[in-house]
Structure 1
């Protein structure tokens, strides 16, 4: 799978970037060719998808069994390679962190991206959930039917949201950071949750720009915990890779994957593959 985090790794826009040379990639799908002596539940020849701590863009991958999941019979390898990162991230933010329930409203940035589309699909599994989304205009046609209210990413979405929902939204999912942090917090209803899960505003072009990074960082809202207390708001962060590879929560993620695969098998969700690339072209 190719995700935005892979682009950030390539540009070096992450904390503690790995030493080079390295093979990028954090998720993949394929066929089991070999098993460790103590591995149970899998057989050689099984179709699987997996999380990998780098090295997913390789012909052969080795990863702990707790990060491996069987692919449903009617799911293609390309769909499976696009499933784990996007849907686990979306599910855990909505249900594990923000406790999405019937009648709530959600604002998701980059609604046309992998996580954004997974968020919209998962919201559709809960009755009467309103989804506000921001996205580049060229992506609107593809996602217009899955998002309740769609705005151009350069529009004044704060005013647009408040025009439709005067008291704001229950959940904000922000992968942009920068000035959007303050905007997101301002849109939260009482007991609402703002979740930061990326910082794409820190990335510019093909290389890092120190001045752009500094500008975006300076625009990040300085959060006063007393203000959160007074306004009954929650601010949180979410990093799936840290949860898996630094905080040893593979068991928790496996439980989420089981729920997601159940939703897939019941035709409630379906991974979206934007494009296919030969390994030599990546």
Structure 2
């Protein structure tokens, strides 16, 4: 039983049991206090599979804390989950999202280290995009006093992934060089900041041209992703680079391997090139796969090159890496408190604007992190798009031309 500030009455318990399984209760009753808003993915596919609805509020089990969510992180991986473009996708319907932050609302029995009122950020194995979440304490971290909820939602996944790839996998040291794809994204910006904490590290950033003005000061050299960046990098560093961080896969794999110095490390941590349209495309998957240079172990041996893969969520939820991640988080929070790193936030979106936010990631338009602000009120045009559904639970088609009139939320720089 959770330890809460107010005990639940027998009448309230009866109302919850009586209404168990119902999507929403239209009449006012004590059970409404035990419901929450959440983003639900009804099935794998396009944006029309997402909607905001009411769900039963979870309660913490032994070893868990219950968090009143303030903000959630939105990542390219969430787009791939929506399409079902991942290995062993979970069953739908589901609540997406892998990271959030908020205030501890209750603490279950046999749970230690956290108290009601603590400001925290947490990793989730799905279910993050909701007003309330419950998660084991192994995945929860206290926020620094001066960290905002917006920053916290942009911090955990991206900075931990960047830190572990650079320092745990690739052993970044003074004087090394790093090439990072998608340098304008949240991970790319985290990589650039962490590299700046090590003396004389050269960062080669690859990004779309329209992002260059905003991110040019965060990297040493910046190149257009559509240009022949291989030759440009070799003009500056004829021997190549020490570390490559690749979230694209496809044809970039072979190019990146060709840039590695002897004893260099190539790390694949994503495959965004496999996403080209709104829904999953087997053609895009096949094209990306066949563009990957087939890795020859003998060639690796002869050239003294290292190939690695990194998945933070698999490390956390499938491979028991909680202690490794906690160690990385502790070091990152020290760097944050020293003001050496700080998340770059692209924009804030209400839960009801999740489709528009996800489209911005699909279009590779973001510079830094997109945040779902749970307490934010949506703009009217966007709210209708994410909550209006047909009787079958699918989004009604919009009249042509409506999309052109929708305002984007102001971006944070």
Asked if residue 227 in structure 1 is aligned to residue 296 in structure 2, the reply is no
Q: Deviations over 1:60-91 (max 9, x none)?
A: 10111010001111110011011011000000
Max Rg structure: 2
Secondary structure of the corresponding residue to residue 261 of structure 1? helix
* Moved beyond 4 Å, runs of 4+: none
Residue 106 of structure 2: aligned partner: 34
Once the two structures are TM-superposed, the CA of residue 41 in structure 1 deviates from its matched residue by 1.5
Aligned partner of 1:59 among 104, 117, 131: 131
Partner of 2:197: 125
User: Which residue does the alignment assign to 2:242?
Assistant: 170
How far is the alpha carbon of 1:161 from its aligned partner?
0.5
Residue 50 in structure 1 maps to residue 122 in structure 2: yes
How far, CA to CA, are the matches of 1:9 and 1:108 in structure 2? 23
Query: Is it true that 1:247 corresponds to 2:308 in the alignment?
Result: no
Work out the CA distance in 1 between the residues paired with 2:290 and 2:158.
Answer: 29
Q: Distance in 2 between matches of 1:206 and 1:133?
A: 27
Alpha-carbon separation, structure 2, partners of 1:44 and 1:142: 40
1:128-147 alignment to 2 at 5 Å? Answer: 128-147=200-219
What secondary structure sits across from 2:285 in the alignment? helix
Structure 2 SS opposite 1:183: helix
Q: Does 1:74 align with 2:146?
A: yes
Deviation at 1:39, TM superposition (A): 1.6
The separation in 2 between residues aligned to 1:87 and 1:40, in whole angstroms, is 26
Distance 1:67 1:9 in 2: 21
- After TM superposition, give the deviation of residue 136 of structure 1 in Å: 1.1
Moved more, 30-39 or 46-55: 30-39
Report the Cα distance in structure 2 between the residues aligned to 1:18 and 1:204, rounded to whole angstroms.
22
Verify: 1:153 aligned to 2:225, yes or no.
yes
Q: Which residue of 1 aligns with 2:345?
A: 273
Q: Distance in 2 between matches of 1:212 and 1:60?
A: 36
Q: Give the secondary-structure state (helix, strand or coil) at the position aligned to 1:63.
A: strand
Segments of structure 1 that go 5 or more residues without pairing to the other structure are none
- Aligned with residue 283 of structure 2, among 200, 211, 222: 211
Superposition deviation, residue 272 in structure 1: 1.1
- Note the C-alpha offset of 1:141: 1.4
1:6 maps to 2:78:
yes
Count of aligned pairs between the two proteins: 282
Residue 108 of structure 1, CA deviation: 0.3
CA distance in 2, matches of 1:84, 1:274: 16
The offset of 1:269, in angstroms, is 0.2
Moved more, 7-16 or 168-177: 7-16
Deviations 1:204-263 (A, max 9, x none): 121122222211110111111111111110000000010001101111100100000000
2:208 paired with 1:112: no
Could you tell me how far apart the structure 1 residues matched to 2:122 and 2:281 are? 33
> Distance in 2 between the 1:57 and 1:272 partners?
20
Q: Which of 186, 195, 201 is 2:267 aligned to?
A: 195
1:124: how far off? Answer: 0.1
Query: Per residue, is there more strand in 1 or in 2?
Result: 2
